[in-house]
Chain A
């Protein structure tokens, strides 16, 4: 008997929760804010669904709800992707180690 592909996806999901658990406990508390902004950015990989939703758009068809929803979702996800990664980058660049020898 064949296994339902859903079970494979469920396995990936459950194992990823465990990976997430161990990886996140390893994140140093001082980087918890960048952690939140980066998780924000990566969860916007939902944009792949939005692109599919918008893929059948043509200028000649009439008002088409799924397409419009897709485009709106692309914009929202893109704000998050660019905003999330860039703000993470900006924060991480501020973390500096003590300069040895000289104190300003």
Chain B
């Protein structure tokens, strides 16, 4: 097979990847999209097998390695719980990053195999590209590992900051650029390794100051990095499929980061510089506020049964309590009573973009009953009951009223506009952002103090 033919086929594979993402524009076409992605990948691998002169002895090992990795991947994919999806994605990102580093290293040590010159005599352009790819790959790798540890709870979600942190990061950043230039000039393998090691360090330093609440941004950001790393390697290998994919993934992650930042009304730099979600100042001054109204499952069931419309506002707490199935059961019972039920999802309701939608879908909630913030916010005013379960900060009216508040300006769900609010929560403790929710003390709010799952199940019993 000629080089041109292979390149054309790689281009087709890249085009299939574009179509795969295109398919995700609606749930109906999404499964076909995923299939096109698989097709593109299969094509790229087959072309590589046909095009590259692979020794028979290595062919067997390559297939074994693929089968081995593939089975691990398949087992993980079937076993993982939907709540753990953010960790899984972070873990996957780290693998992309590490793979980019490994490929860059093998190109560095064996450029002949890739047709990029000989050892210590690699084309300058390729050197620049592979250094950049390896560096971003290394940052993605350790950054994702830290994100994984934080999400899995193996590491505290609290931001780790120290004096002069940003200055050190800046110095290291300059150091990386100089090292890339140095590697390009004298092709020293020692310097290449130092570049990689320092990049690994940057990945750690970059993610540790970012708090647990900002994880949706971190995951999206690392998604973007993994794309740029892949693109860097794509340039090195002169492979169109890899360049296209890298660009797609890179811009996809960047857009998701932007959406997440906007959902929290934070600038990207503010998130990166970190330190958010530490101690709270507003908590003390709210100690002497008026008491809250609290109710039980019976009250909640009565209220909802006699209403004509209910909007359910789920948050990550619902998923932690594994209450999503009970919530759906409650919704089914309400619908039997002629109550209109819909769900309102805030962009940062879960721990990664779109997480809450997946969790609801898993509990068999039809996706056309689930609405994004911008599409449902105006409906709260005409709604009898807003049922807030496991969400907190995203409903806090303080974001609209108090410029002093750390979440001021964050787009929130206008829960307080509905006739009454049912708030399922264990206690009056503040949410991720560490601030008290004014909603608790409102006239039309009824607090349901309990575990989310238990309370919902009790409500279901009272509805039947």
Q: Given A45-B242, A48-B242, A65-B109, decide whether A80 and B353 contact each other with a Cβ distance below 8 A.
A: no
Enumerate chain B residues within 8 angstroms of A86, measured Cβ to Cβ: 73-74, 77-78
Q: Which of A37-82 contact B (CB under 8 A)?
A: 37-59, 65-67, 69-82
- B368: interface (CB < 8 Å): yes
Enumerate chain B residues within 8 angstroms of A33, measured Cβ to Cβ: 85, 89, 350, 352-355, 357-358
Main secondary structure of the interface of B (DSSP, over half): helix
Q: Given A79-B72, A82-B77, A96-B366, decide whether A46 and B21 contact each other with a Cβ distance below 8 A.
A: no
Q: Given A16-B248, A46-B233, A69-B105, decide whether A57 and B61 contact each other with a Cβ distance below 8 A.
A: yes
Enumerate chain A residues within 8 angstroms of B347, measured Cβ to Cβ: 29
CB-based nearest A residue for B30: A92
- B437: interface (CB < 8 Å): no
Interface centre among A25, A30, A87 (most CB of B within 10 A): A30
- A103: interface (CB < 8 Å): yes
Which interface class (under 10, 10 to 19, 20 to 34, 35 or more) fits B? Answer: 35 or more
Q: Which of A20-40 contact B (CB under 8 A)?
A: 20-21, 23-40
Enumerate chain B residues within 8 angstroms of A43, measured Cβ to Cβ: 96, 226-227, 230, 245-246, 249
Residues B58 and A67 in contact, CB atoms below 8 Å apart: yes
Determine which of A31, A42, A57, A75 lies in contact with B57 in the assembled complex, contact meaning CB atoms within 8 Å: A57
Q: Given A24-B21, A48-B241, A73-B103, decide whether A42 and B354 contact each other with a Cβ distance below 8 A.
A: no
Residues A24 and B252 in contact, CB atoms below 8 Å apart: yes
Q: Which of B31-54 contact A (CB under 8 A)?
A: 31, 33-34, 37-38, 40-41, 44-45, 47-49, 52-54
CB-based nearest B residue for A33: B354
Residues A91 and B82 in contact, CB atoms below 8 Å apart: yes
Q: Which of the candidate stretches B63-71, B145-153, B420-428 sits at the interface with the other chain?
A: B63-71
| Shortest distance between the CB of B187 and any CB in chain A (Å) | 15
| Shortest distance between the CB of B79 and any CB in chain A (Å) | 10
Q: Given A20-B247, A48-B237, A86-B74, decide whether A56 and B58 contact each other with a Cβ distance below 8 A.
A: yes
Determine which of B103, B259, B353, B367 lies in contact with A69 in the assembled complex, contact meaning CB atoms within 8 Å: B103
CB-based nearest B residue for A29: B372
Residues A31 and B354 in contact, CB atoms below 8 Å apart: yes
- B440: interface (CB < 8 Å): no
Could you give, for residues 1-36 of chain B, a 1 whenever the CB lies within 8 Å of some chain A CB and a 0 otherwise?
000000000100110011011101111001101100
Residues of A in contact, count (CB < 8 Å): 84
Enumerate chain B residues within 8 angstroms of A65, measured Cβ to Cβ: 105-106, 109
Docked Cα-Cα span, A15 to B54, in Å, equals: 33
| Shortest distance between the CB of B100 and any CB in chain A (Å) | 6
Enumerate chain A residues within 8 angstroms of B364, measured Cβ to Cβ: 94, 96
Residues A103 and B98 in contact, CB atoms below 8 Å apart: no
CB-based nearest B residue for A49: B103
- B76: interface (CB < 8 Å): yes
- B456: interface (CB < 8 Å): no
Residues A30 and B354 in contact, CB atoms below 8 Å apart: yes
Enumerate chain B residues within 8 angstroms of A67, measured Cβ to Cβ: 58, 106
Residues A46 and B100 in contact, CB atoms below 8 Å apart: yes
Residues A27 and B65 in contact, CB atoms below 8 Å apart: no
| Shortest distance between the CB of A28 and any CB in chain B (Å) | 6
Enumerate chain A residues within 8 angstroms of B227, measured Cβ to Cβ: 39, 43
Residues B17 and A42 in contact, CB atoms below 8 Å apart: yes
Main secondary structure of the interface of A (DSSP, over half): helix
Q: Which of B364-378 contact A (CB under 8 A)?
A: 364, 366-370, 372
CB-based nearest B residue for A86: B77
Determine which of B13, B18, B73 lies in contact with A80 in the assembled complex, contact meaning CB atoms within 8 Å: B73
Q: Given A12-B243, A30-B357, A79-B76, decide whether A59 and B113 contact each other with a Cβ distance below 8 A.
A: no
Docked Cα-Cα span, A50 to B30, in Å, equals: 29
Docked Cα-Cα span, A56 to B223, in Å, equals: 32
Docked Cα-Cα span, A36 to B377, in Å, equals: 26
- B244: interface (CB < 8 Å): yes
- B179: interface (CB < 8 Å): no
CB-based nearest A residue for B373: A29
Interface centre among A39, A40, A52, A78 (most CB of B within 10 A): A39
Residues A57 and B55 in contact, CB atoms below 8 Å apart: yes
- B168: interface (CB < 8 Å): no
Q: Given A9-B243, A16-B243, A46-B103, decide whether A91 and B358 contact each other with a Cβ distance below 8 A.
A: yes
CB-based nearest A residue for B251: A20
Enumerate chain A residues within 8 angstroms of B366, measured Cβ to Cβ: 96-99
Residues B113 and A55 in contact, CB atoms below 8 Å apart: yes
| Shortest distance between the CB of B172 and any CB in chain A (Å) | 25
Q: Given A30-B27, A66-B109, decide whether A20 and B40 contact each other with a Cβ distance below 8 A.
A: no
Docked Cα-Cα span, A45 to B367, in Å, equals: 31
CB-based nearest B residue for A87: B77
Enumerate chain A residues within 8 angstroms of B335, measured Cβ to Cβ: 103
- A19: interface (CB < 8 Å): yes
Residues A47 and B40 in contact, CB atoms below 8 Å apart: no
Enumerate chain A residues within 8 angstroms of B102, measured Cβ to Cβ: 50, 53, 69-70, 72-73, 76
Closest CB pairs A-B (n = 6): A78-B69, A32-B354, A83-B73, A82-B73, A16-B247, A20-B251
Residues of A within 8 A of B (CB): 5-6, 9, 12-14, 16-17, 19-21, 23-59, 65-67, 69-99, 103-104
